[in-house]
Amino acid sequence: MAELSETRVAVYIDFDNIIISQYDNVHGRGAFIKEKARTATGKTADRLQEATVNIGAVLDFASSFGAVAISRAYADWATPANTRYQKQLVDRAVDLVQLFNTSGTKNGADIRLAIDVVEDLFRLQDISHVVIVAGDSDYIPLAQSARRLGRTVIGIGVQGSTSAAFKNACDEFSYYHDLVEDLGEDLGEDLVEDIPHSTPTVAVEPPAPDLAKEARKLLMRALRGRANDDVDGWMAASALKQQMKRLDPGFDEKKIGFKSFTDFLKAQRSIAELQEDGQARRARLRNRA
């Protein structure tokens, strides 16, 4: 059970906004509309793959502010460009809010998202942080309203497609690129489902997970959370373990043979530095940039 004093976070993702913005960032301004990438057919399927959004990195960053109580993504989930992300989002316990494109251009995500945020903040008084993943200037009044209600507003957007006024309306703002720039192949996470092929494949039993390897990957994800960093990147060991359990509630160092979390950290010298001062223990990512 979460402590009553623990900060609680609500995450709202304008999914179309972030997908289109990332595509245009990679392939050129206006490319998503010009190339009709929404259908994910022909060459655009490969170009969408090149502009894949790592939603896991966004959610990990959001969780570094506290326990995520609400996470919603707004889009037309029947659209091929969005459908390929559904499993990743569902696996991360994100609610998929279906929006139908009735105007031929916009799906009304900004209106529905704003209504949900205001309703949630009045209904759930313990929500302390609101994370808005978008960048559209339409969200400026929402950010201002949430701040007037005493909440901390964190914005996340794609560089080149984010309103400067929206950035200024938030308490904190991060560019998507900054959240993923230092993620390496060592995290080994499939970002989206593979694009289906015409040749049928034979279903195989997935291999049993390597719990020790998964725990190391989890440790790296937790240590990369910028919101918990001090100037030198150190995190209290207790806060680090709490963050790891936010990212994966099933984490338990005893399952992989360690008597304590400190013993687990001592065994990860290639990943983390450990600093001990009496009963106080802190850790940080080794070889920080």
Domain CATH code at residue 248? 3.30.420.610
Domain contains 128:
yes
* 174 and 227 fall within a common domain: no
Domain contains 195:
no
pLDDT of residue 207: 56
Domain contains 203:
no
Question: Residues with Cβ < 8 Å from 120, sequence gap 6 or more?
Answer: 10, 70, 127
* 144 and 222 fall within a common domain: no
Domain contains 146:
yes
* 98 and 173 fall within a common domain: yes
Count of Cβ atoms closer than 10 Å to residue 180 Cβ: 18
* 97 and 239 fall within a common domain: no
* 64 and 110 fall within a common domain: yes
pLDDT of residue 29: 92
pLDDT of residue 197: 43
Last residue of a domain, one of 187, 202, 219: 187
Domain contains 260:
yes
* 175 and 250 fall within a common domain: no
pLDDT of residue 1: 41
pLDDT tens for each residue of the chain, 289 residues long: 444 457 899 999 999 999 999 999 999 999 999 999 999 998 999 999 999 999 999 998 999 898 899 999 999 999 999 999 999 899 999 999 999 875 544 557 889 999 999 999 999 999 999 999 998 889 999 999 999 999 999 999 998 889 989 999 999 998 999 888 755 444 444 456 554 444 444 444 555 568 888 899 889 888 887 555 556 788 888 888 888 888 887 788 988 889 999 999 999 998 899 998 888 889 998 876 5
* 141 and 238 fall within a common domain: no
* 96 and 180 fall within a common domain: yes
Number of domain units in the chain:
2
pLDDT of residue 198: 40
Largest separation between any pair of C-alpha atoms in the chain: 63
Structure-token match 């091929």, residue found? 80
pLDDT of residue 192: 61
SS3 276: strand
Last residue of a domain, one of 154, 187, 220: 187
pLDDT of residue 35: 94
Domain of 246, in residue numbers = 211-285
* 268 and 128 fall within a common domain: no
DSSP secondary structure string for all residues of 107-150: --HHHHHHHHHHHHHHH-TTEEEEEEEE--GGGHHHHHHHHHTT
* % helix, strand, coil for the chain, step of 5: 45, 20, 40
Domain CATH code at residue 156? 3.40.50.1010
CA distances from 62 to 9, 49, 57 (A): 7, 24, 9
CA distance linking residue 239 with residue 265, whole number of Å: 13
Closest C-alpha to 283, from 217, 247, 233 = 233
* 99 and 182 fall within a common domain: yes
* 126 and 257 fall within a common domain: no
Structure tokens at 258: 């360690």
* Beta strands at 95-98 and 67-75: parallel, antiparallel or unpaired: parallel
Paired strand residues for 277: 280
pLDDT of residue 286: 84
Domain contains 3:
no
* 128 and 243 fall within a common domain: no
Domain contains 200:
no
157 within 8 A of 134, measured Cβ to Cβ: yes
CA distances from 229 to 79, 97, 183, 236 (A): 38, 32, 16, 10
SS3 272: strand
pLDDT of residue 31: 94
Domain contains 117:
yes
